[in-house]
Amino acid sequence: MKMSQIGEDSFIERIRETMASNLAEGVMGIGDDCAVIPLEKDRLMLLSTDSLIEGCHFIKDKISGRDLAYKAVMVNVSDIAAMGGRGLYILMSIAMPKETEESWVSDYVEGMKEACDEVGIAVIGGDTTGSKEGIFINFTIVGEVLKNRVKYRKGAKEGDVICITGVIGDALAGYEMMMKGEIGSSLFEKYCRPKAQFKEGEWLGGESSVTAMMDISDGLVQDLTRMMKASVCGAEVDLEQIPLSEAFREFARKHKWSAEEKAITSGEEYCLLLTVDSAKYKVLSEEFEKQFGRSLYVIGTVNEGLGVNFTKKGQKVKIESEGYVHF
């Protein structure tokens, strides 16, 4: 059997089951946006790692070294935000061919510094090595969160409302524009220089009405499915409630896309997906808008059973694409 038949989630589950007995008491390993390690008193350490591979996650001639490093930092910070925590330190490893231009390396370092300064974290080490072909980047982030503020993918319950903290779809359109050499638009910026919602994540971590949370990295279809599986619940999403930017709507019209259906399969959005106690949503939403100057978007509800259903005008809609699939 090949990896294309096994799939990413099944592979991860195989690792989790095999290595579960090695975990010390209180450690939360594979299965969420970060691993969680108890510290002294009421604090938890958060750990996450992400890789970017040339030819798979990026094309060197299509994205600058500055944008690539900025994005790599933000991708990792987003995982910490998804758990309600605060990022502290990053370890960065990179493998690159010896022919890599010095100007590209300088841009890369500047992009890394720009992102770290923006979110208030420091690079404390890592590894550099040569590569015979292509650039490989890996970041590992260390963060922390108080025990009473940590959020997991599990925790959603029947009757909760499902929310996201920003518009989606822009990153997919930005990717298409990048591949065609159409740079400079807000859509292109959203793909190449995503903004981790670290302030929003830390704030939401302190709200008891938030029952589950994660970030949208592989697309709403896949990520909501993972959240519902972890929570042993089902969900129904109204496509007409999916928040879309006007720039994305225009791009979708131009390319004859079904805007909402494309948006829910768009990965690398890095806004937050959360479930909220329906009785407390109104207060949370009002406070969120005061804090961040924009809405907390309701897109659906949690229900009994398993699986995620999508509707439009009251009718079920079959979604053909899962979003980004690694294998």
Per-residue pLDDT of the chain (327 residues), as tens digits, is 888 888 888 888 888 888 877 888 888 888 899 999 999 889 999 999 999 999 888 899 999 999 999 999 999 999 999 999 999 999 999 999 999 999 999 999 999 999 999 999 999 999 999 999 999 999 999 999 999 999 999 999 999 999 999 999 999 999 999 888 877 788 989 999 999 999 999 999 999 999 999 999 999 999 999 999 999 999 999 999 999 999 999 999 999 999 999 999 999 999 999 999 999 999 999 999 999 999 999 999 999 988 999 999 999 999 877 666 665
Token pair of 213, please? Answer: 């949370």
Token pair of 104, please? Answer: 């590209």
Confidence at residue 297, expressed as pLDDT on a 0 to 100 scale = 98
Q: Are 151 and 230 in contact (CB under 8 A)?
A: no
C-alpha triplet 42, 47, 49: angle, nearest 5°: 170
Q: What does DSSP say about strands 122-130 and 86-96: parallel, antiparallel, or unpaired? A: parallel
Token pair of 44, please? Answer: 């938890």
- Structural fold of domain 31-146: 60s Ribosomal Protein L30; Chain: A; (3.30.1330)
Confidence at residue 323, expressed as pLDDT on a 0 to 100 scale = 65
C-alpha–C-alpha distance, residues 109 and 119, integer Å: 16
Statement: 161-317 belongs to CATH 3.90.650.10: yes
Where do the domains of the chain lie? 31-146, 161-317
Confidence at residue 262, expressed as pLDDT on a 0 to 100 scale = 96
Q: Are 141 and 103 in contact (CB under 8 A)?
A: no
Confidence at residue 7, expressed as pLDDT on a 0 to 100 scale = 82
